[in-house]
A and B are shown apart, each in its own frame.
Chain A
Amino acid sequence: MIEPRSEPPGTIDREIPSSLNQLYQEVILDHYRKPRNKGHLDGATHAITMNNPLCGDVIELMLRVEGGSIAEARFLGRGCSISLASASMLTGRVRGKSLEQALELSRKFTHLLHGEGALLSDDDLGDLRTLAGVSKFPVRIKCALLAWNCLEELGDGTDADGGSG
């Protein structure tokens, strides 16, 4: 019988690989299991639903913009831990920002997911930095970006210069 080479025969490798530990940090699992700002937003000024047709994940993002800044953000949807944690964190990080500032945050977050390590010291990203481990799993980047794609679509709707990271 051929066993995985990294371990002596006859044992089960219980050690969690570090890449997985970086991907599934406690903060992320906490947002997945206890999402913040999940639910319908009454009085939303902006709302959009987007899906990932390859995997069936769906996020509806709702914003209430007052006096040029995001007074409240909530979301509904279903998806993996990465997409839901990302959506949960988004709703917390964009509150109080203008749409333009939120889109700037979206661009930074996208760069972080593509491995731009310098952004790890950018406090504006806050908890979102715990999602940096996704950069080691390229096929999962689209999960982390689903809620942000919603934000960019909403930004594009009101701000022609929205950009797409």
Chain B
Amino acid sequence: MAEMTDTKQATGTLASERPPEAAGRGDAGDVSAGGGWDLAAIRAQFPILSREVHGHPLAYLDNAASSQQPLRVLNRVERYLREEHANVHRGVHQLSAEATEAYEGARRSVAAHAGTRDPAEIVFTRGTTEAVNLVASSWGDAFIGAGDEIVLTKMEHHSNLVPWQLLAGRTGCKLGFVDVTSEGTLDLDDYDRLLGKRPRLVACTHVSNSLGTVNPVREIVDRAHAAGALTLIDGAQAAPHMLTDVAKLGCDFYAFSSHKMCGPTGVGALWARRELLEEMPPYQGGGEMISDVKLERSSWAKVPHKFEAGTPNISGVVGFGEAARFLADLGSEAIASHEDALKRAVFERLDEIEGLHLYGPREGRTAVFSFTYGDIHPHDLSTILDQRGIAIRAGHHCNQPLMDHYGISSTARASFYFYNSPREIDVLCEGLALAAEVFGGIA
């Protein structure tokens, strides 16, 4: 993965916080090259990984949909709710001060994860989807007009597609789509062709949620800027696996979600360059986002509060911040090293299975695997694997245009995270063998 900052390796933090619970399936085997990666200790941080499903130890391989939360995050949220809760930025009393400090402390942690030194460039949202909608509504309505071009790609998640369709409906702007190659990478020649139309914005995913493709964001951004376009990067599938460095990426907007990176659901972040946030109008009106309110008009709070109308999801934000610190303590190099080893092992094992077709590139990708298996429909596969405690996703993965591109309606998707074990790859393969047996062979 190209865009990764240097961080410290996994430290003793995990060992010192290791809870007494057993780690469940997959405690054996350290597939990472370096020392300091204690998979059993890491798994023990995630209580849910030791539960059973249908009488089998859970093998959770649906991390691209949502990741699980470690004790550190669960405990931090509970402590906030038990001891520190009040509304933020309002009161002068002690609890309000503590809640505000917890909330703004989380903003600093999330800013560090995104790679910005200025926490005011982090706007908390309900998630990646709301972050994209915020830009499409606020920036889009203010600066986009009829006939303007916006460039997207054919591998966008619906959340980085539909908000722009809505903007096109409101303003009459036009949408162009970068083609995807048969390997599942972006066709950069097609991209250049679209840039020739002098678009105002390029909105592109960092990592494909179904193919795992890691897009060359720096290249995409540089070419966009040379053509006079701003860039929005959907980081939902990247932020969990690598420390983002928005300065190195060079982009203008970056959106990501808490719940895919070990944090709670219902919270995410938009990073944007401060001058862009300052010139954008508010997204929603209400309390928290104002400076001065008269009956006829109001003035706005400074960024980022201008974009955070109403009482926010404070406990969610606090958990988000703890998740960012948890990932920083693990170290993105250590995470990448373990995930790379898992990825190689998955390729090795799935390549051996006759009738199994893997989508996406072999290199430059994350450990999310979309596949089809003979004539067994992904839903049937998912049902059968579930009976063995294996959680995968089946469907179009909010990627209908991409599925159309490949001429399929759905795939099965197994997505791994740093707490997954080599043993779980074996279990997946055993589950696939069972599916073949249930269907009386692979046609």
Which residues of chain A have a CB within 8 Å of any CB of chain B?
1-2, 4-6, 12-14, 16-17, 19-21, 23-24, 26, 29, 33, 54-58, 78-82, 137, 140, 143
From A1, A20, A24, A56, give the contact of B409 (CB < 8 A): A56
From A1, A5, A14, A55, give the contact of B434 (CB < 8 A): A14
Q: Please report the C-alpha to C-alpha distance between residue A14 and residue B438 in the assembled complex, in whole angstroms.
A: 10
Closest Cβ–Cβ distance, residue B357 to chain A (whole Å): 16
Contacts of A81 in B (CB 8 A): 376-377, 380, 439
5 contacts between A and B (CB under 8 A): A13-B430, A17-B54, A24-B439, A78-B409, A80-B377
B55 within 8 A of A: yes
From A1, A29, A58, give the contact of B440 (CB < 8 A): A29
Q: Please report the C-alpha to C-alpha distance between residue A107 and residue B395 in the assembled complex, in whole angstroms.
A: 28
Contacts A1-B28, A6-B55 given: A140-B395 contact, CB under 8 Å?
no
Are A20 and B395 within 8 A (Cβ)? Answer: no
Contacts of A1 in B (CB 8 A): 27-29, 423
Contacts A4-B57, A17-B387, A20-B387 given: A55-B394 contact, CB under 8 Å?
yes
Are A56 and B439 within 8 A (Cβ)? Answer: no
Can you name the residue of chain B whose Cβ is closest to the Cβ of A5? Answer: B55
Contacts A16-B438, A17-B387 given: A33-B375 contact, CB under 8 Å?
yes
Q: Please report the C-alpha to C-alpha distance between residue A137 and residue B56 in the assembled complex, in whole angstroms.
A: 17
Closest Cβ–Cβ distance, residue A8 to chain B (whole Å): 15
Are B400 and A56 within 8 A (Cβ)? Answer: yes
Q: Please report the C-alpha to C-alpha distance between residue A23 and residue B384 in the assembled complex, in whole angstroms.
A: 10
Contacts of A140 in B (CB 8 A): 379, 383
Are B437 and A55 within 8 A (Cβ)? Answer: no
Are B400 and A33 within 8 A (Cβ)? Answer: no
Q: Please report the C-alpha to C-alpha distance between residue A4 and residue B437 in the assembled complex, in whole angstroms.
A: 19
Q: A1-B423, A4-B55, A20-B383 are in contact. List 9 more A-B contacts (CB 8 A).
A: A1-B27, A2-B22, A2-B27, A2-B57, A5-B52, A6-B56, A24-B439, A55-B395, A81-B376
Can you name the residue of chain B whose Cβ is closest to the Cβ of A143? Answer: B379
Contacts of A6 in B (CB 8 A): 55-56
Contacts of A58 in B (CB 8 A): 409
Q: Please report the C-alpha to C-alpha distance between residue A117 and residue B299 in the assembled complex, in whole angstroms.
A: 65
Q: Please report the C-alpha to C-alpha distance between residue A12 and residue B376 in the assembled complex, in whole angstroms.
A: 21
B410 within 8 A of A: yes
Are B438 and A54 within 8 A (Cβ)? Answer: no
Can you name the residue of chain A whose Cβ is closest to the Cβ of B409? Answer: A56
Q: Please report the C-alpha to C-alpha distance between residue A6 and residue B439 in the assembled complex, in whole angstroms.
A: 23
Are B438 and A56 within 8 A (Cβ)? Answer: no
Q: Please report the C-alpha to C-alpha distance between residue A21 and residue B24 in the assembled complex, in whole angstroms.
A: 28
Q: Please report the C-alpha to C-alpha distance between residue A24 and residue B25 in the assembled complex, in whole angstroms.
A: 28
From B375, B403, B443, give the contact of A56 (CB < 8 A): B403
Q: Please report the C-alpha to C-alpha distance between residue A6 and residue B54 in the assembled complex, in whole angstroms.
A: 11
B396 within 8 A of A: yes
Are B377 and A2 within 8 A (Cβ)? Answer: no
Q: Please report the C-alpha to C-alpha distance between residue A57 and residue B394 in the assembled complex, in whole angstroms.
A: 11
A-contacting residues, B300-328, CB 8 Å:
none
Q: Please report the C-alpha to C-alpha distance between residue A62 and residue B178 in the assembled complex, in whole angstroms.
A: 37
Contacts A33-B443, A57-B409 given: A137-B377 contact, CB under 8 Å?
no
Contacts of B376 in A (CB 8 A): 81
Closest Cβ–Cβ distance, residue A83 to chain B (whole Å): 8
Are A80 and B380 within 8 A (Cβ)? Answer: yes
Can you name the residue of chain A whose Cβ is closest to the Cβ of B434? Answer: A16
The contact string, 1 if C-beta is below 8 Å from chain A, for chain B 67-81, is 000000000000000
Contacts of B434 in A (CB 8 A): 13-14, 16
Q: Please report the C-alpha to C-alpha distance between residue A19 and residue B54 in the assembled complex, in whole angstroms.
A: 11
Closest Cβ–Cβ distance, residue B230 to chain A (whole Å): 32
